[in-house]
A and B are shown apart, each in its own frame.
Chain A
Amino acid sequence: MTTRTQIPLGRLWDTWGVTALLVLLVLCTPVIAPGFLEIENLQSVLRESAYVGIVAVGMTFAIASGAFDLSVGGQLALTSVVTLMAFNGGGTAAAVAAAITTGLLCGLVNAGLITQLRVPPFVATLGSLFVFRGIAYLLTQDGPRTLPYEQVDSPFAKLGSLNFAGLPVPFLIMAGVFAAGWVLMHRTAIGRRTLAYGSSPSAARFCGISDTRIRLFVFALVGVTVGIAALTYITRVWTADGSAQDGFELKVIAAVVLGGTALKGGKGTLIGTFSAVFLVSVLNEVLVSRGVESAYQRIVLGCVLIVALTIDGLRTRFAGPGSFRRALRPTS
């Protein structure tokens, strides 16, 4: 087999390339952005990245299975609005339950459209993006939902800003979701099947992998991660309406792709996604501290994305695309 004689350089870059870039960037910060390494600043970077990172876990699975979920922005807006309504009506427990349930329901709607009505994922989630955001707008017609002022000292409202052992709670939640995602992807049958399905849907079908189940699993997972992310998001900003986090889906997809997950499916790297989320936010932070306007920040981020993907194109020549056999192997 030719795979044995290959130099593993490509595959090493796959998993750790973005992490190496992140480390390099952080090592440079004392020179290019003095003050970046102060505890408070680091905490704020970790906190701000949490909700993008959490959804990026679900999106990594989706893209590894060969599909996008373009509706996560709408899901986040809708879930945030419903969560605040539930909190105002029934307190913390109701809010948590509402967040997870709403996210899960959104995911199930997407899965239903894709598996039952056989709409391609790209269009199904593009359509449901409009629908979810529209419902969020409907629910907030008379002004955005907000956390009542007398509740700003409640434990729920503090969830987004608390620190535990010096680490922000949203970051800890995000780390937990990543760990769970890693186990799910590399140590469970459904995770391996998702990768196998992504690398070759028809081969997977012939192995008896049910595409309905894969779609259901992937899109429900995205929904649940959105639910968790909404909790960390809403307890930090305390307000939501239909326009909350416009363009969120592209932020999340950019992080996952930057991390090294193949757009064609069959290969997902959560370590890469994790580092990519922070690479983007550290870069943002550095640009802000150097007084670069937000308009120029966009230009820089876009260029980073193109450069990273160009490298990815070169990399594919070394390591080859995600292979079906490798996907089914229990370790990566």
Chain B
Amino acid sequence: MINALKKVPLLVPLVLVMAILALSTDTFLSVGNLENVLVAAAILAIPGVAMTFCLAMGEFDLSIGSTVSLAGVACCSALIAGLPLAFSLLAALGVGAFIGLANGLVITKLGVTPFIATLATMVIVRGASLAYTDGHDQIVSSPGLKYLVAGRPLGIPMPIVLAVAVAALAWWTINRTRFGRWVCAIGSNRDAARMSGLPVDRIRIAVYVLVGLSGGLWGLLISGQLQKGNGQLGLGFELDAITVVVLGGTALLGGRASIIGTVLGAVMIETIRNGLNLLNTPPAYQRISVGLLLIAALALLALRRRERRGAGPNRVPARVQESAA
């Protein structure tokens, strides 16, 4: 039990926040509300899980917010053009995978730093989405697309089904497959990974394609919810996705991944957003609380690291500091 807590440090604060909300509001514990929280968390967990791979590798993908927009637009405009639903869904996923592939190729073959490469594709893809829609909404009315968000196979909301499937697959991949080991190996020391003969470039490209695909799925869910696609969807989503992973305890510098942590991170963020809504606080507090949460989580991690290592690696002997002054 204590071991489990150590592995998933987010569990205690999450239970704490839920207890506070249960005591301070009447509605938080109602079935409908809890379901709302879990559905929102499920939608956020899907890209979070994919982003976990990216951060485990020690890299970021900033373009995922724009992917959400372009994938949504692709699906909606395919539906408007009268193409079958299956094709429209595949189009969105294809757009996501293609953006991921482009990211991977630019990063590995052209040698551009991931931060800047995905920053550039973020701008390009957002531009493509705005240019294609000419700033207009692409409104659809598609029960099939709606089913992705609001459907209930066996009474369970569809996003939760999807998120559980994605998270289970990701957990298995990270912990039980060669590919997962390789991703973490690249994250902890890329040069060592290359020298041991791992196909580093191919793994990195694969991870970016995964993130792109999850962005495509995220776009489908968002567009399904709103029944429209446009160039403004998904603004700032990349920060949400990264925040979830960092909250979940995946090390920022790579080498380790915690899928369960990421899922709990998504639940944590959506619980807080929901709680602040129930308490009628202005939306501004939601931003502040997410920011503070992020800082607190990382400060705690840093503190634990320092305790474990004694004085810590960052300390310079006092004598050296004095002589420098």
Chain A residues packing against B (C-beta within 8 Å):
113, 117-120, 122-124, 126-131, 133-135, 137-138, 141, 205-211, 242, 246, 250, 253-254, 257, 263, 293-299, 301-303, 305-306, 309-310, 313
Residue B273 is within 8 A (CB to CB) of chain A in the complex: no
Known: A123-B246, A127-B294, A129-B291. A306 touches B112 (CB 8 A): yes
- Total A-B pairs, Cβ < 8 A: 157
* Across the A-B interface, the 5 shortest Cβ-Cβ residue pairs: A130-B291, A298-B127, A208-B324, A137-B284, A134-B288
Q: List 28 A-B contacts (CB under 8 A).
A: A117-B303, A120-B253, A123-B246, A126-B239, A128-B295, A130-B287, A131-B291, A131-B295, A138-B288, A205-B316, A206-B320, A208-B323, A208-B324, A253-B119, A263-B113, A263-B115, A293-B131, A295-B129, A295-B134, A295-B135, A299-B131, A302-B122, A303-B124, A305-B116, A306-B110, A306-B120, A310-B111, A313-B111
**B247 to A, closest residue via Cβ:** A123
Q: Are B252 and A123 within 8 A (Cβ)?
A: yes
Determine if B119 and A141 form an interchain contact, defined as CB atoms under 8 angstroms apart.
no
Q: Report the bound CA distance from A301 to B119 in whole Å.
A: 11
Contacts of B302 in A (CB 8 A): 117-120
**Most chain A CB atoms below 10 A, which of B123, B282, B285, B324:** B123
| Residues of B close to A313: CB separation below 8 A | 110-112
In the complex, what's the smallest C-beta–C-beta distance from B320 to chain A, in angstroms?
5
Is A123 in contact with B112, judged by CB distance below 8 angstroms?
no
User: Given that A131-B292, A134-B285, A299-B131 are contacting pairs, would A210 and B298 also be in contact in the complex, using a CB cutoff of 8 Å?
Assistant: no
Within 8 Å by CB of A138, from B135, B282, B293, lies B282
Among A126, A206, A211, A294, max chain B CB count under 10 A is at A126
Q: Quick one: which of B120, B130, B236, B283 has the most chain A CB within 10 A?
A: B120
Partner pick for B298 among A123, A131, A208, CB 8 A cutoff: A123
A138 to B106, CA, bound (A): 41
Interface residues on chain B, number (Cβ under 8 Å): 56
Whether B316 and A208, one on each chain, are in contact in the complex, defined by CB atoms closer than 8 angstroms, is yes
Contact of A295 among B127, B239, B242, B246 (CB under 8 A): B127
Give chain B residues whose Cβ lies under 8 Å from the Cβ of A117.
Answer: 295, 298-299, 302-303
B54 / chain A contacts, CB cutoff of 8 Å:
none
Q: Which residues from chain B contact A210 at a C-beta distance below 8 Å?
A: 316, 321, 324-325
Please give the distance in Å from B191's CB to the nearest CB on chain A. 14
B282 touches A141 (CB 8 A): yes
Q: Does B284 contact A141, Cβ atoms closer than 8 Å? A: yes
With A130-B290, A208-B324 given, is the CB distance from A295 to B130 under 8 Å? yes
Closest CB-CB distance, B67 to chain A, in whole Å?
14
